[in-house]
Amino acid sequence: MIKTIKARVHQKYRTTSFPKAIPELPERYRGLPQINSADCNSYCTACVDVCPVSAIAKTNGKISLDLGRCIFCGKCAEACMTECLSFSKDYRLAARSREALFIQENISFDQAGKLKSEFLRLFGRSLKLRQVSAGGCNACEADVNVLSTVGWDLGRFGIKFVASPRHADGLLVTGPVTENMREALLKTYEAVPSPKIVIAAGSCALSGGLFRGHEQTAEGVDQLIPVDLYIPGCPPHPLTILDGMLRLLGKIKTPYR
């Protein structure tokens, strides 16, 4: 017992102080894409051609990017000779609507806002989620699970994952929703008592990701059930996931939408 106490004292406080302070992000971290078409050759389509998920479009010389499809591979930025497209360190990627994930030049990204007041009264202080892996590769699931470790301590915000949908206030869904998981997802959703919320995390859950267009997968969770929060990434960083959840619960102040 004494050894355990000594070890704990030696380790000191390990939980991140987010949202009061932002943890240091890795040098190679890719966050919110930045678009600057000023120097872009109107005939160049290098970024469009190299994107493996068709997340980038170019119309009349203007570039647009769908964060819901983007897997943040960085190939577009590498292919752009004039640095018109780059990735920032901004981790705040979550949005309340699928349309908000389409980003363009000179249009500010519409970050996730909080739930309506009647939902905040129910879930603002205590939110129980049932996680559903709907055919994912386990990358998104791993980063979601990280939030329950001592480094992040998701429970200090009143957010916990539960084993049964009947004990949950909502779902957190990852993966492209394969045909084998379609019925399981729908039954799990039905088992959650109303009112309930749904969070989709990762490009597969948002749009089908790399499996988009495959006959055995859906093109986004919202094709089957309503979604209240969209968290892009492949996989989304734990900081991005936590930021989206806290904005949804009004613990990070943003205006209503």
Identify the structural domains of the chain with CATH numbers, from first to last.
33-91 (3.30.70.20), 117-248 (3.40.50.12280)
Cis ω before 235 (30° cut-off from 0): yes
pLDDT of residue 2: 84
Rounded CA-CA distance 143/16 in Å is 15
pLDDT of residue 160: 96
pLDDT of residue 60: 81
Whether the model pTM is above 0.75: yes
pLDDT digits (tens, 9 = 90+) for 26-37: 999 999 999 987
Quick check: 15 pLDDT over 90?
no
Do 85 and 33 form a contact (C-beta atoms < 8 A)? yes
pLDDT of residue 229: 98
* Mean per-residue pLDDT, 3-20: 78
Quick check: 130 pLDDT over 70?
yes
Rounded CA-CA distance 135/55 in Å is 21
Average pLDDT score, the chain = 91
pLDDT of residue 255: 43
Rounded CA-CA distance 237/233 in Å is 7
pLDDT of residue 253: 67
pLDDT of residue 161: 97
pLDDT digits (tens, 9 = 90+) for 88-115: 999 999 999 999 999 988 778 999 999 9
* Mean per-residue pLDDT, 40-59: 90
Quick check: 254 pLDDT over 80?
no
Share of the chain above pLDDT 90, in %: 74
pLDDT of residue 256: 37
Q: Where are the alpha helices (DSSP H) in the chain?
A: 2-11, 46-50, 75-79, 117-123, 139-146, 179-191, 203-207, 238-248
pLDDT of residue 257: 35
pLDDT of residue 29: 95
Give the angle 59-64-70 at the CA atoms, nearest 5°.
135
Residues found in the chain: 257
Describe the strand order of the beta sheet including 159-161 as a list of residue ranges. Answer: 159-161, 127-133, 170-174, 197-201, 229-231
Beta-carbon count within 10 A of 52 CB: 12
Tokens of 99: 């349309």
pLDDT digits (tens, 9 = 90+) for 224-253: 999 999 999 999 999 999 999 999 999 986
pLDDT digits (tens, 9 = 90+) for 152-206: 999 999 999 999 999 999 999 999 999 999 999 999 999 999 999 999 999 999 9
